[in-house]
Amino acid sequence: MPYLFTSESVSEGHPDKVADQISDALLDNFLAFDPESKVACETLVTTGQVVLAGEVKSDTYLDVQNIAREVINKIGYTKGEYQFSGDSCGVISLIHEQSQDISQGVDRGSKEEQGAGDQGMMFGYATSETENYMPLALDISHKILHTLAEMRRENKEISYLRPDAKAQVTIEYSDANEPIRIDTIVVSTQHDAFDADDEKMLAKIKSDIISILIPRVKAQLPAATQKLFDDQIKYHINPTGKFVIGGPHGDTGLTGRKIIVDTYGGKGAHGGGAFSGKDPSKVDRSAAYAARHAAKNLVAAGVATEILVQVSYAIGVVEPTSIYVDTYGTSKVGLSDGDIAKKVAQLFDMRPFAIEDRLKLRNPIYLETAAYGHMGKQPTTVTKVFESPYNGRIEKEVELFTWEKLDKVAEIKSAFNL
């Protein structure tokens, strides 16, 4: 029997994503001026207010209020009518020193012996159903909202958009787990107040989303995926009615509340730990990236068409407590999943410092991860500039999304005789 699968995404202006981006901007600034910083920074945003809290161990000092305001303005919350703007909101900092009870379990005489920053299990997932090895429903959801944000900034074809938005895509699959068609698309977007009555306003928004936004999204997709769009798609556009009140004024936002949006949209699995605001000594983040790196390279090498990799840790312990692999019955190498996991352990060093070093995670690379997913983006090298009244100005060339590199494929093929 064919079945339906759904994933959602949220925009950079969604309250939880505003909080994630502020937390990761703070992390980037700490790492830019002190790469050895230990950071676990949480953010709360609500009407006219930002609260920063968490634990930091660093040799640098930052103007955290100004960093938060810059992020908010860049997202697009720049008008008083939003009841939340970077220039006028209050910013309260409750950040304090990292607990010595935690740091004693992580810090070691040599970096190679660095212990895990916490216990827990982390997952990485990859599938061959898209070019970026991501689940298709999530990939399309991200593209819908990223394109919507581009159109908001262009302010041409659609001129009434505000920053907050959500999207959801439902795909029909065959018994062979192949996508057949897109069944449903849901888009809820914040908008300016209209002079027209609610019915006319909603009709205008629905028409613009279906006739302007969706074709622009579709054009970004491969030909095979474009064929999944047909005239039978069910559209729910702002299904609750008008959406003028939004962002942190409409709904309080917190760091780490969109962990499924951040990863695989409900496919694979999730260990439960959030990413944003955490330096790479926190394996919640670094090991999840390492597991994605392993899963993506394994699928690209042809080990299987779908792979889940789990890695687990004990706080303060160097070696992972387990590595697990599930190929969902799609293995192409004639080995059990347990045997594949043993090879993964040999191919990928999952000690915390080894992950940091291999993926270059002690660089200020995290703000770019904090909206539209941490996985599936194109690895690239950029120059980032950081300025501080206390530390001066620094330029750093950094590699973004190193865990998305297909740099282990040849080695994997050799190990599996592919």
- What are the φ/ψ torsions at residue 119 (nearest 5 degrees)? -80, 175
Distance (Å) of CA 137 to CA 171, 203, 401: 6, 25, 21
Q: Which residues are annotated as a binding site?
A: 14, 16, 42, 55, 98, 164-166, 242-243, 251, 257-258, 274, 278, 282
The domain over range 120-128+280-415 is classified in CATH as 3.30.300.10: yes
Count of other CB atoms within 10 angstroms of residue 86? 19
pLDDT of residue 97: 79
Residue 14 — very low, low, confident or very high, per pLDDT cuts 50/70/90? very high
Q: Which residues are annotated as a binding site for K(+)?
A: 42
The percentage of residues in the chain with a pLDDT greater than 70, rounded to a whole number, is: 96
AA letter at 22: I
Neighbouring-strand partners of residue 9: 167
**Does pLDDT of 247 surpass 80?**
yes
Placement of tokens 């944003």 in the chain: 276
Q: Distance between CA atoms of 166 and 17, rounded to whole angstroms?
A: 11
**Does pLDDT of 304 surpass 70?**
yes
pLDDT of residue 17: 98
Helix, coil or strand: residue 149: helix
pLDDT of residue 198: 84
pLDDT of residue 114: 78
pLDDT of residue 167: 98
**Does pLDDT of 42 surpass 70?**
yes
Q: Which residues are annotated as a binding site for Mg(2+)?
A: 16
**Mean pLDDT, residues 16-44:** 97
Task: Give the closest residue to 356 by CA, choosing from 124, 114, 122.
Answer: 114
**Mean pLDDT, residues 195-215:** 92
pLDDT of residue 92: 97
pLDDT of residue 118: 82
Residue 12 tokens, joined: 């950079």
Count of other CB atoms within 10 angstroms of residue 40? 24
Cα angle 104-109-115, degrees, rounded to a multiple of 5: 50
pLDDT of residue 115: 76
pLDDT digits (tens, 9 = 90+) for 79-96: 989 999 999 999 999 998
pLDDT digits (tens, 9 = 90+) for 349-393: 999 999 999 999 999 999 999 999 999 999 999 999 999 888 899
pLDDT of residue 110: 64
Q: Which residues are annotated as a binding site for L-methionine?
A: 55, 98, 251, 282
pLDDT of residue 16: 98
> Please, are residues 228 and 184 in contact by the beta-carbon 8 Å criterion?
no
Q: Which residues are annotated as a binding site for ATP?
A: 14, 164-166, 242-243, 251, 257-258, 274, 278
**Does pLDDT of 112 surpass 80?**
no
pLDDT of residue 389: 87
pLDDT digits (tens, 9 = 90+) for 306-324: 999 999 999 989 999 999 9
Residue 4 — very low, low, confident or very high, per pLDDT cuts 50/70/90? very high
Of 38-47, 184-193, 204-213, 382-391, the range with the lowest mean pLDDT is 382-391
**Mean pLDDT, residues 2-13:** 97
Task: Give the closest residue to 393 by CA, choosing from 401, 403, 383, 402.
Answer: 383
According to CATH, what is the number of the domain 15-110? 3.30.300.10
Task: Give the closest residue to 256 by CA, choosing from 6, 90, 15.
Answer: 15
> Please, are residues 43 and 22 in contact by the beta-carbon 8 Å criterion?
yes
Residue 170 tokens, joined: 């439902």
Q: Distance between CA atoms of 29 and 390, rounded to whole angstroms?
A: 12
* Helices and strands in the chain, H and E counts: 13, 13
pLDDT of residue 106: 59
**Mean pLDDT, residues 299-305:** 98
For domain 3-11+136-246, which architecture applies?
A: 2-Layer Sandwich (3.30)
**Mean pLDDT, residues 29-33:** 97
**Does pLDDT of 101 surpass 60?**
no
pLDDT digits (tens, 9 = 90+) for 253-285: 999 999 999 999 999 999 999 999 999 999 999
CATH 3.30.300.10 in the chain: give the residue spans: 3-11+136-246, 15-110, 120-128+280-415
End-to-end alpha carbon distance in the chain: 33
- What are the φ/ψ torsions at residue 126 (nearest 5 degrees)? -155, 150
Count of other CB atoms within 10 angstroms of residue 388? 17
Torsion of CA 15, 366, 66, 254, to 10 degrees: 30
**Mean pLDDT, residues 130-138:** 98
| Rounded (10°) angle between helices 337-347 and 283-301 | 110
pLDDT of residue 197: 84
pLDDT of residue 208: 97
**Does pLDDT of 341 surpass 70?**
yes
